[in-house]
Structure 1
Amino acid sequence: MTNAKHAAPAVPAWVPVEVRNYVFHTEQGQPIRGLARSQACHPSTIMRQIRKVEQRRDDPLVDHAIRCLSSDEDDTQTPSELELMQALRRLAMPHALLAIAMGMKQGVILHDTPSGEPDRGTPLSRETAQTLALRGWIAGSQTTAKVLRYRITPAGRAALRDLVARSENHARAMAEAPAGFEGAADRDGPWGGGAKAIRAPVQESPVVALARRKDQSGAPFLNRAMVRAAERLREDYEIAQIGRHDRGSSRPDWEGILKAVETHAPVTMPEGDIARFVTEALSFLGPGLSEVAFRCCCLLDGLETCEKQMGWAARSGKVVLRIALQRLVLFYEDRGTLGPKIG
């Protein structure tokens, strides 16, 4: 029970249990023993959770998030799972960090690399950053600097794997038919029949893995602009897939689109602005390049899988993928939309 004269604000279900107990006790006045009885645990368990969260309040993002949870007038919108997944995916890249200044509405995800390569950064809303910090998916080493720096935690990497798995499971469950992306030795265009269906895996993107490799001169095999273009294509593809479920529209015929590109036939534009934008990008890449970009960036197929399905020589896929990403950078830069759509 609480002594407040009005009903205490509800705590969203996504809030971690230790934070919920902290808010219930410190902000709403509920006794520790009462919380322990309702959760069938010992009062000392609730006490340890409260002390742990109290120590975390030294982090400005966590402190502000808890204040918002306790406020009656808080109208902050909870970020969607897609926004959280995209943010974690960027933070999971090598040398990535989130920089955010107190009082600013947005932070920026940067890559702290010694090469000195310029990075325009990826914007991230303060609400999303607070959610990540409150869940323990990002953590900062400093709490008093003017600009705070956060990096992804092991819990954040585990959460990213779970979010990606749920996203792929949702897409497969909502599809009207089993995945039709198939390939075989006897191929008529990019999508011959006879092989098992290709499904998007949950592991790391092949583009991110390839970006860690070096060329003969010691420079990254894929520069930052190429990786960003691949991430943008992947994000547009995911948004197009999710958007069609929300609108109840038909599934984009990616197989037919790629066949049309391969044979230089007229391409039928799908419903939705984002799906059409993905189609324009694939058409810009042209035959061959469009398929390898779609498989590696959208379906997250590995390079060896692409080489086998497309009948290429071993270790040739990485070269073709780099050429495709170079053209993809030109496509996005020409339209001024290279930055990922998060934040």
Structure 2
Amino acid sequence: MVRRPHAYVQQMIEDPDGRPQSLSVHIGESPLGWLHARGLLSDRHYHAGDALRRDWERAGLGARVTMCWDGAPLAGRGGRNAARAHDPSLSQMAARERFDGAIRAAGPGLADILWRVACAGEGLAAAEKALGWPTRAGKLVLTLALDRVADWYKVPS
């Protein structure tokens, strides 16, 4: 088995005192994975956030970065693909229902940071800044949201 070196990048962040700090970040690691690996999220919280992210991806809610080859009909022609403009699969619809239910379970005010960190892959500090929250408020709100989502997904304690 060939082992590949981990891909790290240097990133400048602001520490709690407002001083810039250089930090090595593994680019293949999600923000939830990063928080979990450092003991800032429990296993239950991590698994709940990961389940939400998987459902978000399965539902096709993320931005498309590739060409869509689903056989869209040509304008003005009624070929065999004309009736099938976009037919989501049952698994995609089920994932969308689970995602929507989990977001509702998180509740208003908590779902914002949950989506930003778990689904959009935004770091906690960046999410706090984008939402106009004070530093370190995001972790508390994120864990509250993940508690509710873990209950909704029935993640064991």
Of the three residues 105, 108, 124, the one matched with 1:287 is 108
Q: How does 1:110-125 map to 2 (within 5 A)?
A: none
Structure 1 moving runs of 4+ over 4 Å: 244-248
1:208 aligned to 2:29?
A: no
Q: Which runs of 5+ in 1 are unaligned?
A: 1-135, 138-152, 159-201, 214-219, 252-270
Q: For residues 222 and 241 of structure 1, do their structure 2 counterparts lie closer, same or farther at Cα, with a shift above 3 Å needed?
A: same
Q: CA deviation at 1:332?
A: 0.6
Q: 1:154 Cα deviation (Å)?
A: 2.6
| Cα RMSD after superposing both structures | 3.1
Q: How many residues align?
A: 116
- CA 1:154 to 1:207, structure 2 compared with 1: closer, same or farther past 3 Å? same
Partner of 2:24: none
Q: Distance in 1 between matches of 2:29 and 2:85?
A: 30
Say which SS state the counterpart of residue 130 (structure 2) adopts: helix
Shift of 1:230: 1.0
Name the residue aligned to 2:46: 227
Specify which of 128, 135, 140 is matched with residue 307 of structure 1: 128
CA distance in structure 2 between the aligned counterparts of 1:234 and 1:331, rounded to whole angstroms: 14
Matched residue, 1:154: 4
Q: What's the TM-score, normalizing by structure 2?
A: 0.62
Q: Classify the secondary structure of the residue corresponding to 2:97.
A: helix
Percent identity over paired residues: 33
2: CA distance between counterparts of 1:238 and 1:248?
A: 21
Report the Cα offset of residue 250 of structure 1.
Answer: 8.7
Aligned-residue offset at 1:203? 4.7
- State the shift of 1:231 in Å: 1.0
Tell me the distance in 2 between the aligned counterparts of 1:318 and 1:204. Answer: 18
Gaps of 5+ in 2: 8-26, 71-83
CA drift of 1:240 comes to 1.0
Query: Deviation at 1:309?
Result: 1.2
Residue of structure 1 equivalent to 2:117: 296
Letter aligned with residue 107 of structure 2: G
C-alpha separation in 1, matches of 2:44 and 2:147: 9
**AA in 2 matched with 1:331:** W
**C-alpha distance in 1 between matches for 2:57 and 2:45:** 19
In structure 2, relative to structure 1, the CA distance for the partners of 1:203 and 1:301 (3 Å cut) is farther
AA paired with 1:283?
Answer: R
User: Residue type of the partner of 1:318?
Assistant: K
CA separation in 2, counterparts of 1:296 and 1:281?
15
Residue matched to 1:325: 146
Q: CA deviation at 1:236?
A: 1.0
Structure number with bigger Rg: 1
Deviation of 1:326 after TM superposition, in Å, equals 1.2
Q: Structure 1 residue 238 and structure 2 residue 57: aligned?
A: yes
